[in-house]
């Protein structure tokens, strides 16, 4: 029987240290959580996937029963939130009274043939059953060990499956949606005695025998919901649809990819090819005649059409080598920024090349290049720093994915489990989904909008098609997601705290760091204004930064009082799925501030 244990007044940080306040004892920002719950299900190792779901649900009922009596005696309402890997930057995570760490809900098994509905589109050995807290890296490792794989992921495999699809997290798998598109069914614990299996009516998954397996140790049968609309609503759950105890996932045959990373100057026509979804033409311009499966573009916001941009593509490879290729060592913008963060944290102010008189640095002037170079390890911008971390191929050589010298990577080899360089908390990231066809208008506009800011960030474009989930922020049929990755205020403030005030160079460095610390927030706001002014529709990633607010959320998804509001139907599904107690505890600060739910009284 899985067990729970609790830490009282626990210091909890999220992955990117955006929640909480600086705690000198911990040496970093943390939130204090009055009761931090951890589930351990190691003893279910011999159970089947669905038996395991039943076992963890039984233990979660006990956890919720305790919370129910706590809430009954509490003078004020409180949220009992869930955390996956804690990779969200926003207040979707961090509930100070009670929080459940879901990483113990970790396991993956194949569906048994008898548990599969006769009309299910997939055979049982192409349906994985994963605990909601399973980290994507473990999920891919399990699937690939069985010569299967999953369709897509984010750029890293650090998030959990339930946390990943909570926010419609996405990567850049061309022609496909986000992580939520792989989900076929969900097992939700929705109250202290209630649990639900939800799947699409049009895509049945579990047989009656499968549903019976979900009966908990204390005899509570699962409530079965087969409804396409409610399933779409529940997918992008934002931590407010109960505990995602487990999911059924579509698997596919394992496949290998050839990796191309090239540097090439961007042109307005290139952006037009993107707008048309003509990624084959883009691959052709980079020297490969094969249709790519994946494309990411990182550019210098300061000069999008002058400097080279970096282009990362995966091509299908028919090679079936026995030995793994090993990690591909792709340097992502997030990795580069974390490493840049370390560089500014380690700055030695005595080493400034030239002395700078603070009085000659007039207010509106940008940070002098000599100071930037010192802060950025010799680079004059975050983009140059990022490019210098790797030797990119140029397009002189044709690229053949089937060439014997070109390695064939599994998906897990192309995606790291986390940021492996630099310093935690260095990254600020906001993501904006726009219609793919607006890319040629948007990029020059956005670059112009941030032109006056210190060059402390890069833009990356990724592509998502037909994202599932009512509240997927990638809400266009074909979306391009524009990411701004740059230095966080935290890392700039941490670097400032290391500069000795007595040093004659200190005023200049402190002023530069001060300017850098506000740059990304200003940049994200400038992007929003530019898109609004140009009438380019956009939505923002629920789990990231950029000051997403209720007005914007209502503009995008409809005011809940409007009959055709997507928020209204999302709320109705939540009301239909959760117990009355569940409605009072399954929320978080973000879903209230976004206006997705009314304040709980």
Ligand X SMILES: Cc1cc2nc3c(=O)[nH]c(=O)nc-3n(C[C@H](O)[C@H](O)[C@H](O)COP(=O)(O)OP(=O)(O)OC[C@H]3O[C@@H](n4cnc5c(N)ncnc54)[C@H](O)[C@@H]3O)c2cc1C
List of residues contacting ligand X (CB under 6 A): 15-16, 81-88, 92-93, 102, 105, 132-133, 154-156, 159-160, 162-164, 166-167, 169-171, 238-239, 243-244, 334, 419, 541, 543, 588
Placement of tokens 């030797």 in the chain: 391
Residues present in the chain in total: 601
The minimum distance between CB 100 and ligand X, in angstroms, equals: 8
Shorter beta-carbon distance to ligand X: residue 207 or 332:
332
Cβ proximity to ligand X: between 160 and 339 the closer is 160
CA dist 510 and 492 (Å) reads 9
> What is the helix (H) or strand (E) element at residue 601, kind and residue range?
none
| Alpha helices in 146-206, H assignment, sequence order | 161-166
Which DSSP category does 220 fall into? P
Of 572, 536, 565, 535, the C-alpha closest to 550 is: 565
Nearest to 472 by CA among 257, 164, 243: 164
Q: Which residue is nearest to ligand X (CB)?
A: 163
Q: How far is the CB of 197 from ligand X (least distance, A)?
A: 15
CB of 151 to ligand X, least distance (A): 14
Q: Are 39 and 100 in contact (CB under 8 A)?
A: yes
| Closest CB 92 distance from ligand X, rounded Å | 4
Pick from 222, 234, 249: which is nearest to 53 by CA? 222
- Smallest gap from Cβ 396 to ligand X, in A, equals 31
Min CB(163)–ligand X separation in Å: 2
For the CB of residue 161, give the shortest distance to ligand X in the complex, in Å.
8
- Which of 102/371 has CB closer to ligand X? 102
**Alpha-carbon torsion (207, 208, 213, 218), positive or negative:** positive
Question: What is the nearest approach in angstroms of ligand X to the Cβ of residue 224?
Answer: 19
Q: Which is nearer to ligand X, 512 or 596 (CB)?
A: 596
- The residue (of 68 and 356) whose beta carbon lies closer to ligand X is 68
Identify which of residues 87 and 314 has a Cβ nearer to ligand X in the complex: 87
* 439, 274 Cβ separation under 8 angstroms: yes
Contact 172, 295 (CB under 8 A): yes
CB nearer to ligand X: pick between 333 and 401: 333
Q: Which is nearer to ligand X, 165 or 409 (CB)?
A: 165
> To 10 degrees, what angle do helices 506-533 and 439-449 make?
150
Closest separation in Å from C-beta 464 to ligand X: 9
Cβ 244 to ligand X, closest distance in Å?
4
Extended strands (E) in 118-207: 127-131, 148-149, 183-189, 195-199
Q: Based on CB atoms, which residue is closest to ligand X, 82 or 509?
A: 82
Cβ of residue 527: shortest distance to ligand X, in angstroms? 17
Number of Cβ within a 10 Å radius of residue 423: 21
CB 440 within 8 A of CB 292: no
Buried b (16+ CB within 10 A) or exposed e, 183-195: bbbbbbbbbbebb
Tell the residue number behind the tokens 């304040």, with chain if given: 599
Which is closer to ligand X, CB of 92 or CB of 490? 92
Q: Would you say 173 or 374 has its CB closer to ligand X? A: 173
Task: Report d(CA 485, CA 340) in Å as an integer.
Answer: 12
Closer of 120 and 238 to ligand X (Cβ)? 238
DSSP-derived secondary structure letter, 181: G
Which CB atom, from 286 or from 578, has the smaller least distance to ligand X?
578
CB of 101 to ligand X, least distance (A): 9
- Least Å from the CB of residue 134 to ligand X: 9
Least Cβ distance, residue 65 to ligand X (angstroms)? 18
- Token couple for 349: 């102010």
307-311: Cβ within 8 A, 24+ apart: 307/265, 307/383, 308/263, 308/264, 308/265, 308/387, 308/392, 309/263, 309/264, 309/265, 309/266, 310/261, 310/262, 310/263, 310/386, 310/387, 310/392, 311/260, 311/261, 311/262, 311/263, 311/264, 311/282, 311/286
Minimum CB distance to ligand X smaller for 399 or for 432: 432
Give the span between the Cα atoms of 352 and 344, in whole angstroms: 13
Cα–Cα distance for residue pair 88/542, rounded to 1 Å: 8
Q: Which residue has tokens 């916001």?
A: 301
CB of 550 to ligand X, least distance (A): 17
The smaller minimum CB distance to ligand X, of residues 78 and 156, is found at 156
Q: Are 514 and 496 in contact (CB under 8 A)?
A: yes
Residue of 79, 128, 86 whose CA lies nearest to 103:
86
């Amino acid at each position: 029987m899985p067990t729970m244990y609790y830490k009282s007044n626990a210091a909890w940080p999220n992955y990117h240290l955006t929640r909480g306040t600086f705690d000198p004892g911990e040496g970093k920002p943390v939130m204090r959580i009055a009761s931090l719950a951890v589930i351990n299900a190691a003893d279910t190792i011999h159970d089947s996937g669905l038996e395991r779901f039943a076992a963890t649900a039984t233990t979660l009922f006990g956890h919720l029963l305790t919370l129910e009596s706590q809430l009954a005696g509490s003078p004020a309402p409180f949220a009992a939130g869930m955390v996956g890997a804690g990779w969200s930057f926003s207040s979707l995570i961090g509930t100070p009274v009670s929080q459940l760490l879901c990483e113990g809900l970790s396991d993956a098994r194949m569906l048994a043939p008898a548990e599969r509905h006769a009309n299910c589109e997939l055979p049982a050995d192409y349906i994985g059953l994963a605990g909601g807290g399973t980290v994507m890296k473990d999920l891919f490792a399990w699937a690939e060990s069985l010569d299967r794989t999953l369709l897509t992921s984010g750029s890293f495999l650090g998030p959990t499956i339930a946390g990943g699809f909570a926010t419609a997290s996405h990567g850049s798998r061309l022609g496909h949606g986000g992580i939520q598109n792989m989900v076929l069914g969900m097992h939700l614990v929705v109250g202290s005695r209630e649990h639900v299996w939800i799947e699409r009516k049009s895509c049945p998954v579990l047989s009656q025998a499968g549903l019976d397996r979900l009966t908990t140790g204390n005899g509570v049968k699962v409530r079965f919901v087969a409804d396409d609309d409610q399933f779409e609503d529940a997918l992008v759950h934002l931590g407010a649809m109960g505990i995602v105890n487990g999911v059924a996932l579509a698997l596919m045959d394992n496949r290998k990819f050839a990796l191309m990373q090239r540097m090439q100057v961007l042109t307005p026509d290139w952006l037009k090819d993107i707008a048309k979804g003509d990624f084959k033409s883009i691959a052709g311009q980079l020297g490969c005649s094969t249709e790519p499966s994946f494309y990411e573009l990182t550019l210098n916001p300061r000069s999008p059409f002058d400097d080279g941009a970096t282009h990362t593509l995966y091509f299908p490879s028919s090679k079936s080598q026995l030995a793994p290729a090993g990690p591909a060592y792709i340097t992502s913008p997030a990795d580069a920024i974390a490493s840049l963060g370390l560089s500014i944290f380690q700055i030695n102010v005595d080493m400034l090349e030239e002395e700078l008189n603070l009085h000659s640095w007039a207010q509106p002037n940008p940070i002098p290049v000599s100071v930037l170079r010192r802060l950025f390890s010799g680079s004059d911008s975050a983009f140059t720093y990022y490019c210098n971390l790797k030797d990119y191929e140029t397009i002189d050589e044709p690229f053949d994915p089937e060439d014997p010298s070109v390695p064939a990577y599994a998906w897990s080899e192309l995606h790291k489990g986390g940021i492996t360089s630099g310093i935690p908390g260095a990254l600020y990231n906001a993501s904006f989904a726009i219609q793919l066809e607006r890319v040629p208008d948007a990029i020059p506009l956005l670059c112009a909008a941030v032109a006056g800011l210190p060059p402390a960030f890069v833009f990356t474009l990724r592509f998502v098609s037909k994202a599932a989930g009512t509240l997927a922020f990638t809400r266009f049929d074909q979306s391009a997601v524009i990411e701004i990755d740059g230095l966080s205020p935290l890392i700039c403030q941490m670097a400032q705290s290391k500069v000795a005030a007595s040093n004659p160079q200190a005023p200049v460095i402190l002023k530069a760091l001060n300017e850098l610390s506000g740059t990304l927030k200003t940049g994200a706001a400038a992007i929003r204004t530019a898109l609004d002014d140009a009438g380019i529709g956009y939505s923002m990633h629920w789990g990231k930064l950029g000051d997403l607010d209720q007005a914007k959320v209502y503009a995008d998804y409809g005011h809940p009082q409007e009959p055709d509001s997507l928020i209204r139907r999302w709320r109705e599904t939540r009301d239909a799925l959760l117990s009355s107690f569940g409605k009072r505890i399954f929320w978080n600060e973000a879903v209230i501030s976004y206006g997705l739910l009314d304040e709980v009284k």
